[in-house]
Amino acid sequence: MHRTHTFATMTALSALLLVFCCSAVYAEKGKTITAGPWSITLPADWNGDADANVYWPGKGSLDRGLPPVSLHCGGIPVMPGTSFEERVKRHIGTEPQDRSDVTIKDFSGFTCNWEHHGKKHAGLFLHKKIGSGMVVIRFFDCRAPAAEFAQYKDVFASILKSVKK
């Protein structure tokens, strides 16, 4: 009886330890931040400035502008008579590539990639009509120097897929 009890206790403790370890590993894979009403899961080693809605891997600051590898979240005003697509194109400075339509809650939009001024970007643009024809656009722009973009492509895709409202 004593051996069975000890074995059962050890098995239960092992299972509990396994659950704890797996939870710790999972927690280290990412952390959720909020940008207004939006939640975004970032890699655990990313830091940022919540007031500016800018996040980046490792340590750093905004002392010298946006870090070369970063996520920038924000809003874009849309003037009457301007379409969502026109406003996004003007914002990114070029034609969006690899466009894929998405809907998150009551916002619709798309993900896309683009290159501008030596940086490659992966972005999510969402819009919603409010009031009498007014449109609000939310953007989530992941960027890296063109030469480094390939090593961040999967991280950026994961970040953009994690955006929730």
Which fold would CATH assign to domain 29-161?
Protein Transport Mog1p; Chain A (3.40.1000)
Which pLDDT score is estimated for 115? 96
Low-confidence ranges of the chain (pLDDT < 70): 1-29
Q: Which residues contact 25 (CB under 8 A, 6 or more apart)?
A: none
Counting Cα atoms < 13 Å in the Cβ hemisphere of 77 gives 2
The Cα 161–Cα 40 span in angstroms is 9
Which pLDDT score is estimated for 29? 64
Q: Which residues contact 115 (CB under 8 A, 6 or more apart)?
A: 94, 121, 146
Supply the pTM of this predicted model. Answer: 0.79
- Domain residue extents for the chain: 29-161
CA 100, chain centre distance (Å): 16
